[in-house]
Structure 1
Amino acid sequence: MNLASGYIFLVLAIILGISSNGFLKATEGFTNIYPTIFCIFTIIACIFCLSKAMTIIPVGFTYATYGGLTITAVTIFGVAKYNQIPNLYAILGISLIIVGVILLNTMGKTN
């Protein structure tokens, strides 16, 4: 695998992570069967893609990018679907996460 395929797997993991986490509330504590099955399937697929990405991209870069972008997207999903409006400090924190992911991926180095 080359670097591009590592990033493709990372993007897939992020999309699957957003899907899984975004619909977790709909499982109602894993009592609603269809959202539960969806969440289980997407989290397994997410971890598979994340592990594939980590074979090419360093673990720290992979997980920081995955975590940061997933947190940001799930927060936006919460605003859109559940009207969960973050306060100023939450917005500031998420902004710092985004800046951190950008810095890590544009200026970070590993040996």
Structure 2
Amino acid sequence: MSNIIAYIVLILAVILGTAANGFAKGANGFTLLIPSLLTAITIVGCMFTLSIVMKTIPVGITYASFAGLCIIATTIVGIYKFNQTPDLFTVIGLILIIAGVLIVNLIGKTT
């Protein structure tokens, strides 16, 4: 698999991971059946897609990229869906996460 395809699959994993986080919030501590099932399904899909990505991209870079992008995407979902407004320090932290993901993927090297 080419790196471009691997990164496209990684974006799919981020989408599934972010969806799982949103469904988990809506599952109300796993007391609601449908959001709980959707959480489980999207988590399994997310892990499956991550395992595919790890065939091409090293595990550390894959997971660092996934975690950082998922945090950013989940924060955006929190803003729009749950009216959760981040404060200044949260925004600064998110900017640092974005910088970290970019550094790992564009400058970092693994052997």
RMSD of equivalent CA atoms:
1.0
Distance 1:57 1:48 in 2: 14
Identity %: 48
Question: Normalised by the size of structure 2, how large is the TM-score?
Answer: 0.95
Partner of 1:5: 5
State the distance in 1 between where 2:10 and 2:33 align. Answer: 28
Matches for 1:7-86 after TM superposition, within 5 Å:
7-86=7-86
What per-residue deviation string (whole Å, max 9, x for no partner) do you get for residues 63-104 of structure 1?
011000000110111011111111111111111000111111
- Report the 3-state secondary structure (helix = DSSP H, G, I; strand = E; otherwise coil) of the residue aligned with 2:85: coil
Q: Runs of 4 or more off by more than 3 Å in structure 1?
A: none
TM-score if structure 1 supplies the norm length?
0.95
- The alignment of Structure 1 onto Structure 2 pairs a total of residues equal to 111
Report deviation, 1:56. 0.6
Structure 1 residue 24 displacement after superposition: 1.1
Structure 2 residue runs of 5 or longer lacking an equivalent are: none
In structure 1, runs of 5+ residues without a counterpart are none
